[in-house]
Structure 1
């Protein structure tokens, strides 16, 4: 999802991930919002999907699916992700500010130990 598609803000991202131009489909918008926030928080903490998955006790493909807006995560899973990232679960539902930049992708490959 993040490869060739480039977005300058949250609104463009919502329109792309949902395929909806008027934003009427609430579930898809919520999944996209969660995807945006999980990706943003993970990137800010410089965590790979694999490292976050291990810390949260889930498979890496679940993290990938959430970040692509394709996986409808349970409250339990979101709570485990929030705990692993040291945030409250409510941050996943925050509406990004207008003009928020798309979270930058991390370089591929495993990250060196600190």
Structure 2
């Protein structure tokens, strides 16, 4: 089941407020610590905004959690900044899911209501997506937006390495056939 962008904004609002209050900091203090303006932070906590990934990263860093913790309710013991950037995770996860569904970047862009080059730019980390952008892409890919933000597992990395080796072999064998 997919959450609507409104549900994702509400989920983000509740989690952000919960994390901030758990750390006993005011909106003013979190705004200063993160570099996100107080009105923007207040709008996020009301569920009245469609924040960009960069704002979520700033808030997560100031709260000493991963961006994923702004959407998921995980035990405090599991809340810590990730080792990799959320934009890199999104790029890898979108690519892996898109390729698995045999979709081109252009077809995913169009199906999710973006310009035809948007997914390519997302996969190359050239855009700063909003939660709404990610939600629309996740819906077309058949996953929840949190899946796009999830860290890559060891098996994901191993599969990527195997794909790279297969591609390199096919390129070298194609070159030797000429």
Match of 1:42 among 94, 98, 102: 98
Match of 1:62 among 105, 115, 118: 118
Within 1, Cα distance between the matches of 2:160 and 2:121? Answer: 17
1:31 counterpart = 2:31:
no
More helix by share: 2
> In structure 1, the residue corresponding to 2:111 is in which secondary structure?
helix
Within 2, Cα distance between the matches of 1:76 and 1:29? Answer: 19
> In structure 1, the residue corresponding to 2:140 is in which secondary structure?
helix
1:102 counterpart = 2:148:
no
Within 2, Cα distance between the matches of 1:98 and 1:85? Answer: 22
The 4+ residue runs of structure 1 with deviation greater than 6 A are: none
Match of 1:76 among 129, 132, 146: 132
Q: Unaligned stretches of 5+ in structure 1?
A: 1-25, 106-114
Greater Rg, structure 1 or structure 2?
2
Choose between structure 1 and 2 for higher RCO, CA contacts under 8 A separated by at least 6 residues.
Answer: 1
Which residue matches 1:52? Answer: 108
Deviation at 1:60, TM superposition (A): 2.1
Which residue matches 1:19? Answer: none
How high is the TM-score relative to the length of structure 1?
A: 0.62
Q: CA RMSD in A?
A: 2.3
Deviation at 1:54, TM superposition (A): 1.6
Q: Unaligned stretches of 5+ in structure 2?
A: 1-81, 165-178
